[in-house]
Amino acid sequence: MRRPRPSLRRWTDLSDALVDLALPTRCAGCEVPGSRLCEVCRAAVERAAHPRAVSPQPCPPGFPPTWAAAPHEGPLARWVVAYKDEGRRDLRRELAPLLAAAVEAALAASGTARARLAAGDGPVLLVPVPTSRRARRARGDHPLALLARDVAGEYLPGELVLVPALRVRRRVADQRRLTAAERAANVRAALTVRARAAARLSGACCLVVDDVATTGATLVEAARALREAGANEVLAATVTATRRRAVGPLSGLPVLMTPRAIVDYRRDMAGQPPRQTRERRSDRRPAGEGAGAGARDGRALRRGW
């Protein structure tokens, strides 16, 4: 049985104040000086944190059933980046409960995992996505593994066990500027199972954890390696996931486009001239009027979540 999960406010304001006195910081979400996390950003993250099933569009073959705690946007997206790449390990206390919530949702949605936990038929293996040696040297540690350790610690022995079963076997490029197709090619056959973990994977139920789900390429590769090693079922959980995006070569990347821009983009890719649009009523109004209509036309397309 899982132990009671702390909320985002588990740590007291007093402890934060003591940290600020010793080492003045800025809010990781908005960079306002004076506290490590401001109340506005905390409240925004708490409102957004509702674990649910996620799937990239288009969904790549082999993508495992995946749950994320919240969308990758706003203060939480900046928390994740600050924790992972800017040395803000103090955010571990906020991000670990979010990952734990996604893990709990993934386990609850899996019939195989529920049956194993109910029957005591071996633990579910918690497998963090591995990092390269170069990235580990640059960061000084493996940030995701630290979160996974905290999550595993919330379960009773024999229920959920942290097993770093995967390793990176070849060099891969930084994925942040790659398209969905380039990401898939970049990580294809890049992961393999560690020899000392191979025996534990036969017939196992594995739950892969990562910080962000974007195009799904990394989770597909992790699932492939685990299945080939004998895993019976592979699930996944992440702290955040990018929202579903426009269809096309840019699909899966964290880019928002207006509906008008999507239509024009598709016509351009097909070699068609830009469409002729009728004059809007707001365009015929005197200056200073019709601001609401203009704002509505500039609204970004958001799907999913």
Size of the chain, expressed as the number of residues it contains: 305
The reply to whether 74 and 160 lie within a common domain is yes
Question: Under 8 Å CB-to-CB from 102, ≥6 apart: which residues?
Answer: 51, 67, 68, 69, 237, 238, 239
Residues 264, 156, single domain; the answer is no
What is the rounded average pLDDT for all residues in the chain? Answer: 77
Lookup: tokens for 32: 């306002």
Of the candidates 226, 237, 220, the one whose C-alpha atom is nearest the C-alpha of residue 203 is 226
CA–CA gap between residue 231 and residue 161 (Å, rounded): 15
Q: Are residues 276 and 145 in the same domain?
A: no
pLDDT attached to residue 246: 38
pLDDT number for residue 281: 39
Within the chain, what is the greatest distance between any pair of CA atoms? Answer: 74
* Residue 38 placed within a domain: no
- The most confident of 12-16, 195-199, 275-279, 294-298, by mean pLDDT: 195-199
Which residue range(s) make up the domain with 218? 49-241
What is the reported pLDDT for 53?
A: 96
Total count of domains within the chain:
2
Question: Is residue 39 one of the residues assigned to a domain?
Answer: no
First to last CA, the chain: 29
- Say whether both 264 and 219 belong to one domain: no
The predicted pLDDT at position 170 comes to: 76
Query: Are 143 and 199 within one domain?
Result: yes
Residue 202, token pair as written in the block: 């036969």
Single pTM value for the model? 0.72
Give the lowest-confidence range in 10-24, 113-127, 193-207, 273-287. Answer: 273-287
Of 177, 201, 172, nearest to 187 by C-alpha is: 172
Same domain for 81 and 205? yes
Higher pLDDT, residue 131 or 14: 131
Mark whether 139 and 166 lie in a shared domain. yes
Average pLDDT of the segment spanning 219-232: 95
Helix (H) or strand (E) holding 67: strand 66-71
The CATH number of residue 183's host domain is 3.40.50
Q: Verify that 77 and 126 share a domain, yes or no.
A: yes
- Quote the CA–CA distance of 31 and 28 in Å, as a whole number: 6
Query: Is 253 within the bounds of a domain?
Result: no
Percentage, residues of the chain above pLDDT 90: 49
Whether 81 and 221 map to the same domain: the answer is yes
Residues 288 and 223 in one domain: no
In terms of domains, do 209 and 267 share one?
A: no
Do 128 and 267 belong to one domain? Answer: no
